[in-house]
Structure formats: structure tokens, C-alpha cells
């Protein structure tokens, strides 16, 4: 790891994942981004997927997950102590470390993600809304900050970017609320909201959301709507035209997914974006491209 030289080229990496494309709402290394940035974006997302897969690995104990995540952090920071992770996992960390050296993007955009995945390993429940926001602070917001830093954007974009990334994370939790509980024994719905409604997480095991649970889902969507209103200001703050278009498309998709989750039941089946959602978001974002 200490032999990595800043002038080395970073190859385009395939994003390793145990999840299929049907689980992704938004494109990784989108063709909307400048070609010169895409290898770095792939390196970042490859690392993010690798540590996500560690946290979701049902064959590992919580302690083993934390040890592997600690090893990934050591590797991306160029430190010793990476023995607990596999060679394949460490390759993602080494690749990202070289990429960060080339681009000057802060390593915290990677290590903050590890904070969230350590939490996933040891804390399968979310006590309240503030705790969910804190989780999103580490699990989602670093992604937006990474992309903006890679494009040389001002730190003034952070509030709107954070709002967008948090909204996307909450929407993803809503999409997967039943599956997360069934397959990972993990629940991101605030436990105090469930208790106030006289429910517990077993409500998520039903084939359809009852009225009380539907109100909780809508309450989460109310919070998402507020985040999306702030997120809508992001494209206008971004200087790089291609990154502005990317941001505008994702803002549009976030709004459209929130609308779908209002109308559809995530317990009855995974609520997903459709082709017309993508087409509509692209058309809406065209205005940002022409600015």
C-alpha cells in the first residue's frame, strides 16, 4: 500500500456487489459525468459496495464484521492492520486510496461510510428520527460530498447535497423495509414512532401496510419532502455543467420515488422507479444543462 504513487492511473473498476441492478435506484458512474472522473467514481463505489457487503454478510458475526471494516479503514488510510479483510476487499481500499491521492478528495468521504456500516453490524434498530438522521449523515451524505469535491465544487453545496443524500437513503429504507427485517433482521423505521402508534416491527412482516403503519410511512415521506425541497436548490449551486445535470436528474428521481411511495405499498412489493420516471427526470434536468 505504501508503494502507491499519485501518478498511477486508476483503472475503471466494475462495481462488486451481492445486490442486483434491480436494487439500484440511481446509476453508478453515470455517463452524464465527465469521462475523466468516471474511473474515480467507480473506485469509490467499488469500495462502498465492498464495505456494504461486509456489513450485510449473514455468515459473519458482528465482531468479525467490525474487524473487517476496521481493516478496510486502515487500508484506505495507508496504515497497517488490514489482515482481517480479504484480498479482494483490500483491493478496493487500495484502489480508492490511490484515487484519493490523485484527486485530493478527503479520505473522510470514505471513512465516514465505515462509521455507518460499523453501526449496521452492531445496532440493528433505529430508536428515533434523530438517530436515523445521524445514520444518514455517515451512510449517505459522504457520497454526495465525494462527488462534489471530485468536481471541485464549493463546500457551500453541502447542505443541499446532504439533504438530497439523506432523502435518498430514507427512501431506500422505505423501499426495503420489509426485506431488511426479513433478511438482515434490521429495521430503520424509528422505534418510537412505531410505539406511539401501538405497533412494533412485526407490522412490517404483513403482506400489506395497515392504516397505522401507512401513517408512519407517510410521516417519513413528509420528512423526505422537506429534504427534497432543500435538495432542489442543489443544481443551481453546482458550477460544473455535467455535474449540475447529474444533480438535477437525481433530484427529479428523488421526488418521483417519493411520489411513488405515497401511492404504492412497499410491503406488497418493492416500489421502484420506472422508465417514464427516468425520462421525465432527464427532461426536467435539461433546463439545468442549458443554464
Each residue's pLDDT expressed in tens, for the chain with a length of 291 residues: 333 333 333 333 223 334 544 455 555 446 778 999 999 999 999 999 999 999 999 999 999 999 999 999 999 999 977 678 899 999 999 999 999 999 999 999 999 999 999 999 999 999 999 999 999 999 999 999 999 999 999 999 999 999 999 999 999 999 999 999 999 999 999 999 999 999 999 999 999 999 999 999 999 999 999 999 999 999 999 999 999 989 999 999 999 999 999 999 999 999 988 777 666 666 666 665 565
Give the dihedral sign, CA 62/19/14/47.
Answer: negative
Distance between CA atoms of residues 255 and 257, nearest Å: 6
Question: Which pLDDT does position 7 carry in this prediction?
Answer: 32
- Considering 72, 98, 122, which residue would you say is the last residue of a domain? 122
In the chain, how many domains are there?
A: 2
113 and 131 within one domain: no
Question: Which pLDDT does position 10 carry in this prediction?
Answer: 34
Range of the domain at 138: 124-291
**Selection from 26, 7, 63, 34 nearest residue 175 by Cα:** 26
Distance between CA atoms of residues 141 and 245, nearest Å: 19
Residue 281 makes CB contacts below 8 A (sequence gap 6+) with 248, 249, 250, 251, 252, 253, 256
227 and 118 within one domain: no
Residue 177's CATH number: 1.10.600.10
Residue 28 lies in a domain: no
* Cβ count within 10 A of residue 197: 16
Question: Which pLDDT does position 160 carry in this prediction?
Answer: 98
235 and 96 within one domain: no
161 and 80 within one domain: no
Question: Which pLDDT does position 273 carry in this prediction?
Answer: 84
Question: Which pLDDT does position 207 carry in this prediction?
Answer: 97
Where do the H-state alpha helices sit in the chain?
A: 38-55, 62-76, 87-103, 108-122, 129-139, 141-150, 158-175, 177-184, 191-196, 211-231, 234-237, 241-263, 275-290
pTM for the whole structure: 0.88
Question: Which pLDDT does position 193 carry in this prediction?
Answer: 98
Is-contact 76 47, C-beta < 8 A?
A: yes
98 and 185 within one domain: no
Q: Considering only the C-alpha atoms of the chain, give the largest distance between any 2 of them, rounded to a whole number of Å.
A: 59
106 and 175 within one domain: no
Residue 187: helix, strand or coil by DSSP? strand
- Considering 122, 153, 170, which residue would you say is the last residue of a domain? 122
Amino acid at each position: 500500500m505504501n508503494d502507491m504513487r499519485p501518478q498511477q492511473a486508476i483503472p475503471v473498476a466494475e462495481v462488486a456487489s451481492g445486490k442486483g441492478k434491480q436494487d439500484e435506484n440511481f446509476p453508478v458512474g453515470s455517463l452524464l459525468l465527465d469521462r475523466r472522473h468516471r474511473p474515480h467514481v467507480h473506485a469509490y463505489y467499488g469500495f462502498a459496495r465492498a464495505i456494504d457487503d461486509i456489513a450485510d454478510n449473514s455468515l459473519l458475526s458482528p465482531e468479525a464484521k467490525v474487524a473487517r471494516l476496521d481493516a478496510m479503514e486502515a487500508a484506505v488510510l495507508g496504515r497497517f492492520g488490514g489482515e482481517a479483510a480479504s484480498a479482494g476487499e483490500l483491493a478496493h481500499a487500495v484502489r480508492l486510496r490511490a484515487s484519493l491521492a490523485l484527486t485530493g478528495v478527503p479520505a473522510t468521504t470514505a471513512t465516514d461510510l465505515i462509521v455507518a456500516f460499523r453501526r449496521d453490524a452492531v445496532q440493528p434498530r433505529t430508536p428515533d428520527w434523530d438517530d436515523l438522521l445521524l445514520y444518514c449523515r455517515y451512510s449517505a451524505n459522504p457520497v454526495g460530498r465525494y462527488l462534489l469535491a471530485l468536481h471541485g465544487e464549493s463546500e457551500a453545496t453541502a447542505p443541499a447535497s446532504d439533504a438530497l443524500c439523506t432523502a435518498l437513503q430514507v427512501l431506500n429504507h422505505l423501499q426495503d423495509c420489509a426485506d431488511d427485517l426479513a433478511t438482515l433482521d434490521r429495521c430503520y423505521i424509528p422505534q418510537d414512532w412505531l410505539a406511539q402508534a401501538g405497533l412494533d416491527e412485526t407490522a412490517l412482516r404483513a403482506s400489506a401496510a395497515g392504516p397505522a403503519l401507512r401513517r408512519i410511512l407517510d410521516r417519513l415521506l413528509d420528512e423526505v419532502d422537506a429534504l427534497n425541497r432543500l435538495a432542489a436548490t442543489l443544481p443551481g449551486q453546482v458550477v460544473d455543467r455535467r455535474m449540475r445535470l447529474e444533480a438535477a436528474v437525481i433530484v427529479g428521481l428523488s421526488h418521483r420515488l417519493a411520489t411513488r411511495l405515497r401511492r404504492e405499498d412497499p410491503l406488497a412489493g418493492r416500489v421502484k422507479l420506472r422508465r417514464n420516471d427516468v425520462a421525465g427526470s432527464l427532461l426536467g434536468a435539461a433546463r439545468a444543462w442549458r443554464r
